Amino acid sequence: MSFIKKTLASFGVGSARVDSILQQEFLVPGETVPVAIEVYGGATAQDIDTIELKLCCQYIDEEFENKEGDRHGRKRKVKRTFTLARWTLPNAFTIQPGEQRNFQAEIEVPWNTPVTISDAKVWLETGLDISMAVDPTDKDILTVRPDPLADGVLSALEEEGLRIRRVECEACDGFPMPFVQAFEFVPTTGPFHGRWRELEIITFRHGERLDIWFEIDRQKQGMTGLLSGLLGTGKLHRQLPIPADTAPDKAGKMVLEYLDACE
pTM score above 0.85 = no
Residue 36 is predicted with a pLDDT of 92
Residue 223 is predicted with a pLDDT of 46
Residue 246 is predicted with a pLDDT of 97
Exposed/middle/buried for residue 146 (C-beta within 10 Å: 0-12, 13-18, 19+): buried
pLDDT along the chain (263 residues), means of 10: 35 68 90 92 87 94 70 79 93 90 93 91 90 69 94 96 93 90 93 88 90 82 48 55 96 94 74
Residue 252 is predicted with a pLDDT of 96
In the chain, what are the domains? Answer: 14-142 (2.60.40.640), 148-260 (no CATH)
